[in-house]
Amino acid sequence: MKGFYSVVGLVYMVTTSFYLSPRTVVKNENFKTKIEKVAVADDTKSEKNAGTVSSSEALYQSIAFDPEHELNYEVFSKALTGFENLKKAGLLSQESHLLTVCDFSMSSNTKRMWVIDLEDKKILFNSLVAHGKNTGEEFATNFSNRESSLQSSLGFYITDATYQGDNGYSLKLLGMDKGYNDAAYRRAIVLHGANYVSDEFAAMHKRIGRSWGCPAVPRELTQPIINTIKGRNCLFIYYPDQNYLSSSEWLKA
């Protein structure tokens, strides 16, 4: 008899082990619902972030850069951020679509200046550009906003009027970054042409020549570049200086 009750008890335990109380089921369903909501929220957030990133990246990828002379995407992204912020501030017109970028982290012997038509997604010019005499040799390393420093100044500029000066046809530049390039007009930091900005000069001296702080371009490209970007367009001189990158009001998202 004792054996009979043992068997009955065993059967009861087996059959009831598959039973979940209504409270347990509800709890599990609620947990499942929470997991699903979190997953949907994360997916939505990821899609939103992906959309934000892809807008500037899509524009970058649609521009026909020369494969051997591509502008670095991170530099382009920063230049585009400043360009858009200058528009929002009313310092550039809403119709403005030209963006000029000088990447001074690159060798001065490379074509490190790009004039980009963001509307037509075309590179209008890709050129050599000189930095200041006291900014460095082949590579730029030091920058200043001081008069007589003979150094280049980092940051965003707005192109102004043209004139004929000691360096011929030149373009005035208005520095937009306080403490970094806002003395440009007073220092006569302008875009001009120079014979020392050439492949021939670089082959002879291991680097192109250097200016007194101005972004100087090849003599034969002076007039076409200036005539393209004159009259309140954006020019950005980039270098990975963390103090500048973290403090420029134009680089704030």
Residue with tokens 């930091």: 189
Say how far apart CA 237 and CA 204 lie, in whole Å. Answer: 26
Amino acid identity, position 82 = G
> Do 51 and 86 lie in a common domain?
no
Three-state SS at 144: coil
> Do 139 and 170 lie in a common domain?
yes
Q: What is the pLDDT of residue 55?
A: 87
> Do 45 and 80 lie in a common domain?
no
Say how far apart CA 71 and CA 249 lie, in whole Å. Answer: 23
Q: What is the pLDDT of residue 71?
A: 98
- From first to last of its 253 residues, the chain has per-residue pLDDT tens of 444 444 334 434 434 443 444 444 444 444 444 444 444 444 444 444 444 455 899 999 999 999 999 999 999 999 999 999 999 999 999 999 999 999 999 999 999 999 999 999 999 999 999 999 999 999 999 999 999 999 999 999 999 999 999 999 999 999 999 999 999 999 999 999 999 999 999 999 999 999 999 999 999 999 999 999 999 999 999 999 999 999 999 999 8
> Do 56 and 78 lie in a common domain?
no
Give helix 22-62 / helix 73-88 axis angle, nearest 10°: 90
Q: Work out how many domains the chain is built from and give that number.
A: 2
> Do 29 and 96 lie in a common domain?
no
> Do 57 and 42 lie in a common domain?
yes
Model pTM score:
0.79
Q: Which of 159, 160, 226 is nearest to 192 (CA)?
A: 226
> Do 106 and 196 lie in a common domain?
yes
Q: What is the pLDDT of residue 54?
A: 54
Domain housing 138:
68-251
**Helix (H) / strand (E) containing 217:** strand 216-218
> Do 80 and 152 lie in a common domain?
yes
Q: What is the pLDDT of residue 32?
A: 45
